[in-house]
């Protein structure tokens, strides 16, 4: 490496993200020292992105920086927690300054948007791998969980699921690209974690999960954790115009089975629906009702002519039409 590890940390990581008064000690010592607000519990999440597995080889560096933080922001959003501090473990094949500049720019822009400070990390040599640990906090006893949903609760999703998976398929040349596909690629490269929505949902939602593996798979995880099942209406799925342009069947498959959306899938009890709609108007906050939780386990997807049959192999690999 041309740069020493010390120089690299000084140049790229010492002042990355938002400055925060609750960071007593950040990058530079053996550990960071952080103040957690009184009455709050710490929320902690970690996610690793491996080149060739979680993003294509040669993917733009600013996207990798953005996504490494976004996937963790999305996990904290799903808990209704407020993000605060990040640690970055970076394994690099070489210390290329241009790559590092773009990577940290992507990371830092999203970190500043959500007031997250980079307070420490680790830098090693090897195949490109990015691990971000994100810490945040949530008032004790108020965090959202996967296990809180009940039969009869309304099921919602934020954003327009399926876009990111279609964008990845386009990036990888696995899909013919009719017309404008830039929007779909952007949804993969720069997902929008729903941090503010997650925090606001603490008052209304009974259960919540973020959509990383695919809407149906993740909704089913929420249902299973809650000891119930779900029924979803295909016609109610919020599909973006660029996704629809790929064809109705493909759009549905991406929306139900595609991963990498980083949207929130959440449930709200019937008696709180009116308050939810008044406080967080769906059009303004960008979420849509897609179904209802039910007592019978499993997932049912209703089409215009009755229940759709889903692939026998499960939902996880339903994404690559």
Hey, which residues between 181 and 220 contact ligand ADP (CB under 6 A)?
A: none
CA pair distance 34, 17, nearest whole angstrom: 15
CB of 29 to Mg ion, least distance (A): 8
> Which CB, 54 or 185, lies closer to ligand ADP?
54
Partner whose binding site includes residue 29, from ligand ADP, Mg ion, none (CB under 5 to 8 Å by kind): ligand ADP
Q: Where are the beta strands (DSSP E) in the chain?
A: 23-25, 33-34, 40-50, 82-92, 117-125, 129-139, 154-158, 207-211, 229-233, 263-268, 287-294, 298-303, 306-307
> Which CB, 15 or 289, lies closer to ligand ADP?
15
Taking CB under 6 A as the criterion, the residue among 19, 28, 39, 227 binding ligand ADP is 28
Give backbone dihedrals phi and psi of 280, rounded to 5 degrees, phi first.
-125, 80
By CB under 6 A, residue 90 contacts ligand ADP = yes
Hey, which residues between 239 and 298 contact ligand ADP (CB under 6 A)?
A: none
Place of tokens 């929306």: 255
Closest CA to 168 of 53, 281, 23: 53
Residues β-bridged to residue 160: none
CB of 10 to ligand ADP, least distance (A): 9
What DSSP character marks residue 10? I
Q: Which residue is nearest to ligand ADP (CB)?
A: 121
> Which CB, 25 or 50, lies closer to Mg ion?
25
C-beta atoms surrounding 62 within 10 Å:
21
CB of 121 to Mg ion, least distance (A): 12
> Which CB, 118 or 134, lies closer to ligand ADP?
118
Residues β-bridged to residue 44: 135
Give backbone dihedrals phi and psi of 129, rounded to 5 degrees, phi first.
-145, 135
Let me know: does 136 contact 77? Beta carbons within 8 Å: no
Which x/- pattern, by CB under 6 A, does the window 33-72 give for ligand ADP? ----------------------------------------
Let me know: does 262 contact 74? Beta carbons within 8 Å: yes
> Which CB, 122 or 316, lies closer to ligand ADP?
122
The residue count of the chain comes to 321
Give backbone dihedrals phi and psi of 232, rounded to 5 degrees, phi first.
-125, 140
C-beta atoms surrounding 237 within 10 Å:
21
CB of 30 to Mg ion, least distance (A): 4
Taking CB under 5 A as the criterion, the residue among 30, 249, 274, 305 binding Mg ion is 30
Q: Which stretch binds ligand ADP (CB under 6 A): 25-33, 127-135, 214-222, 223-231?
A: 25-33
Partner whose binding site includes residue 92, from Mg ion, ligand ADP, none (CB under 5 to 8 Å by kind): none
CB of 111 to ligand ADP, least distance (A): 11
Let me know: does 267 contact 133? Beta carbons within 8 Å: no
Which x/- pattern, by CB under 6 A, does the window 101-140 give for ligand ADP? -----------------x-xxxx-----------------
- The SS3 call for residue 270 is helix
For Mg ion, the binding residues (CB under 5 A) are 30
For ligand ADP, the binding residues (CB under 6 A) are 9, 13, 27-30, 88, 90, 118, 120-123
């Amino acid at each position: 490496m041309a740069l020493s590890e010390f120089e690299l940390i000084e140049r790229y990581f010492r002042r990355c993200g938002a400055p925060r008064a609750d960071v007593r000690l950040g990058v530079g010592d053996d550990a960071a020292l952080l103040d957690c607000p009184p009455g709050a519990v710490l929320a902690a999440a970690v996610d690793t992105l491996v080149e060739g597995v979680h993003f294509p080889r040669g993917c733009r560096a600013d996207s990798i920086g953005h996504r490494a933080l976004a996937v963790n922001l999305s996990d904290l959003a799903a808990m209704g927690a407020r993000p605060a501090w990040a640690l970055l473990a970076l394994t690099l094949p070489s210390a290329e300054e241009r790559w590092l500049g773009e990577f940290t720019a992507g990371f830092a822009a999203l970190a500043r948007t959500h007031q997250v400070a980079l307070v420490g990390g680790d830098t090693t040599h090897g195949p490109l791998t990015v691990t971000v640990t994100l810490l945040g906090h949530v008032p004790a006893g108020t965090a959202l969980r996967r296990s809180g949903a009940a039969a009869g609760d309304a099921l919602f999703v934020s954003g327009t699921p399926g876009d990111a998976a279609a964008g990845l398929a386009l990036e990888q040349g696995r899909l013919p690209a009719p017309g404008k596909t830039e929007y779909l690629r952007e949804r993969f490269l720069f997902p929008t974690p729903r941090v503010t929505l997650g925090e606001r949902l603490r008052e209304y939602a009974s259960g919540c999960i973020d959509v990383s593996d695919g809407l149906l798979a993740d909704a089913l995880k929420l249902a299973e954790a809650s000891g119930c099942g779900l029924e979803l209406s295909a016609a109610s799925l919020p599909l973006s115009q660029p996704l629809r342009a790929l064809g109705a069947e493909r759009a549905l498959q991406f929306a139900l089975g595609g991963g990498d959306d980083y949207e929130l899938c959440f449930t709200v009890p019937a008696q709180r629906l009116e308050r939810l709609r008044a406080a967080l108007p769906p059009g303004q906050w960008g979420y849509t009702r897609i179904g209802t939780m039910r007592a019978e386990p499993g997932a049912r997807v209703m089409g215009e002519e009755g229940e759709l049959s889903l692939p026998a192999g499960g939902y996880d690999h339903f994404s690559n039409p």
